[in-house]
Amino acid sequence: MVKHQAAEIVTVPCLADNYAFLIHDSATGATALVDAPEAGPIQSELTARGWRLTDILITHHHHDHIDGVEALRAAHGATVWGAAADAHRLPALDHALAEGDRVSVGDLEGVVLDVSGHTVGHIAFHFPGAGAVFTGDSLMALGCGRLFEGTAPMMWKSLQKLRALPGQTLVCSGHEYTMANGRFAQSIEPENSDLISRLERIAAARRDDRPTVPSVLSEEIATNPFLRADHPDLLAAIGHGGDGGAAVFADIRRRKDQF
Ligand code: ZN
Ligand code: FE
């Protein structure tokens, strides 16, 4: 898999608890940024690596994901990609995207998924060759974004799309919220042994000030309560008799908002 080896993914901490990501295609030298919380740390990372930014990919319209776009576009002449549905509230787009559209970063190709829920018009970028999905504030490590604009059934559908990707996919999400998410996850499924061991590794990472993002999709499926709203173990843990799904997801999301 030449393309897999050619892709380098760098996590860039921004603001208080945001993450941006660089995707570098060593074959062509192209470099994409996913989300631009602020320009400074991203520019520093590009300079340190000697990379020129060719593309900016936007997941959703919140300011902590777009505020650095214009400065970086101006500095690099980068091409900006984002959701057509959000074109009215995003920086000017060179490419307006909808579900199923392709984005190209040098020789690397990504596919757009509509993952509305946190906002309506939120998209994710799946790069199969790089083995990574960039989820913004939809699926997060041990959590998911708050439902500011969309509905619970909408977010549940979005999470199911992400859950269907290959298990080894790296989930590159937008925030370091993992410790707080973990405390909540434990309140839902205290007996989940995969969760217990993951929480130990997360606590160790945070003690050393290491990011817990990206995470691995298979691990999210085993431990993230928002991906488990139809899993027999989670349903048993909360005493739900049925098959679960959107209604249980809605219940878990509500509990998290009050946690
Ligand atoms: Zn957001
Ligand atoms: Fe955010």
Instruction: Output the CA 134–ligand 1 centroid distance in Å.
Output: 13
The structural domain count of the chain equals 1
Looking at residue 33, its pLDDT comes to: 98
Q: Show the low-confidence residues of the chain (pLDDT under 70).
A: 1-5
Q: How many residues does the chain have?
A: 259
Instruction: Output the CA 185–ligand 2 centroid distance in Å.
Output: 20
> Minimum-distance ligand to the CA of 37?
2
Looking at residue 136, its pLDDT comes to: 98
| Position 239 in a domain | no
| Position 237 in a domain | no
Containing structural domain, residue 61: 2-173
- What are the start-end ranges of the H helices in 38-149? 39-49, 63-66, 69-76
> Minimum-distance ligand to the CA of 174?
2
Distance of CA 94 to the CA centre of its chain: 22
| Position 103 in a domain | yes
| Position 35 in a domain | yes
Q: Which CATH number do you get for residue 138?
A: 3.60.15.10
Backbone angles phi, psi at 66, to 5 degrees: -130, -10
Looking at residue 191, its pLDDT comes to: 98
Looking at residue 2, its pLDDT comes to: 42
Name the residues annotated as catalytic.
60, 62, 64-65, 118, 137, 175
| Position 202 in a domain | no
Looking at residue 3, its pLDDT comes to: 44
Instruction: Output the CA 213–ligand 1 centroid distance in Å.
Output: 16
| Position 179 in a domain | no
| Position 166 in a domain | yes
Q: Tens digit of pLDDT for each residue in 152-161?
A: 999 999 999 9
Looking at residue 6, its pLDDT comes to: 76
Instruction: Output the CA 226–ligand 2 centroid distance in Å.
Output: 17
pTM for this predicted structure: 0.97
Instruction: Output the CA 64–ligand 1 centroid distance in Å.
Output: 7
| Position 108 in a domain | yes
